[in-house]
Amino acid sequence: MKPQSRYASLSGYLDLSRSVGIDPARLMRANGLDPASLSLQDRWLPSAAVIQLLEQSASESGQQDFGLRLGELRRFSNLGPLSLVIREEPDVRSAVQLLIRYEHVYNEALRLYLSEANGSAVVRVRLEPGEPMETKQSVELVVSVLHRLLCGFLGPDWQPLAVCFAHRRPDDPSTHQRIFGPAVTFGHDFTGIALDAADLSAPNRMSDPQLLAYALQFLDGIEPAKDTTVLERVRELIELLLPTGRCSMEQVARSLGVDRRTVHRQLAEHGESFTTVLNDTRAELAVRLLESRRYSQTEIAELLSFSAPSNFSRWFRARFGCAPSRWQAP
């Protein structure tokens, strides 16, 4: 199955897109993403969709530094609960190693590698979206965020030995030079950040020793990476795709990186079919949306991908034995 990323990977996307004159909601929907889910940072979505979205955004806006500029809008908290733990690591080496060890907690497509030799260290960056595609904008976003993290650990005046990109030099590298300084170079055989190995032994400036014990307790509660079942992924994708109007078995299979027969077979192993999972997910969402009282029944029908409110009402009555208005009544 294709790797997933958290919606937090698009933090700042709406504001940046509008500032460069493109319609973020239209581009997100074109890639099967739900703009409303940007407020749900811990919801998962296909990494390939994020990567494609950033490439299209750079192309339509004419801003080839789009990924870098998005990285500048990131906050440490965008790492989610893991940020609480990394912040309290006593030195830079342990913070970076923790970031690498738990990369699956925030982005399944990201691969970070730390190596040390001859007094220098390199943190290499690679993206594995599960299919061949251009990743320049997302790679530059990751390197920008990594650089910001290292500056947080080491102080704002810290400078890397080199910031290396495997892709070619852009026509205008001024944003790269502003963010990374004169050490940025292009056309390397890897992408990553080189630093003095002594920097890894430096104390983490964000750390509070008195909070370390609490952070370690939290870390013990983070589950190691596990294989997510097809059933779980299908449920997540249905919930993600319903508001876009593009929720079909074919679209779900494409997002998983398999064919529809594979999805059908693996759902059958769990005693499910695509239709049963779709209806169960719709039912859960319908109840949640009705009980929130934030949406009209017309809006709920659209969010659940019904062609008309009357179709939603008939489906709801068949499912729950009453009209949506009665369910919502105090």
Condensed to tens digits (0 to 9), the pLDDT of residues 194-225 reads: 999 999 999 988 776 555 555 556 555 555 44
Q: Which of 313, 247, 243, 322 is nearest to 278 (CA)?
A: 247
For residues 12-39, one letter each, b for 16 or more C-beta atoms within 10 angstroms of the residue's C-beta and e for the rest, the string is bbeebbeeeebebeebbbebbbbbebbe
Say which residue, 229 or 187, is predicted with more confidence. 187
Other residues' Cβ atoms within 10 Å of the Cβ of residue 155: 10
Mean pLDDT of the chain: 86
Look at residue 220 in the predicted model and tell me its pLDDT. 59
The mean pLDDT value for 132-158 works out to 94
Condensed to tens digits (0 to 9), the pLDDT of residues 221-233 reads: 555 444 557 788 7
Cα 94 to Cα 231: distance, rounded to the nearest angstrom: 36
Please tell me whether the overall predicted TM-score, pTM, comes out greater than 0.75 for this model: no
Condensed to tens digits (0 to 9), the pLDDT of residues 172-183 reads: 999 999 999 999
Q: Where does the pLDDT of residue 3 fall: very low under 50, low under 70, confident under 90, or very high at 90 and above? A: confident
Which tokens go with 192? 């990553």
Condensed to tens digits (0 to 9), the pLDDT of residues 238-271 reads: 877 787 777 888 888 877 767 888 889 989 988 9
Cα 196 to Cα 162: distance, rounded to the nearest angstrom: 10
Look at residue 228 in the predicted model and tell me its pLDDT. 59
The mean pLDDT value for 148-165 works out to 94
123 membership: H or E segment, kind and range: strand 120-127
Report yes or no: 104 and 79 within 8 Å, Cβ to Cβ.
Answer: no
Cα 270 to Cα 217: distance, rounded to the nearest angstrom: 35
- 149 to 160, 193, 206, 225, 249: CA distances (angstroms): 12, 12, 10, 23, 40
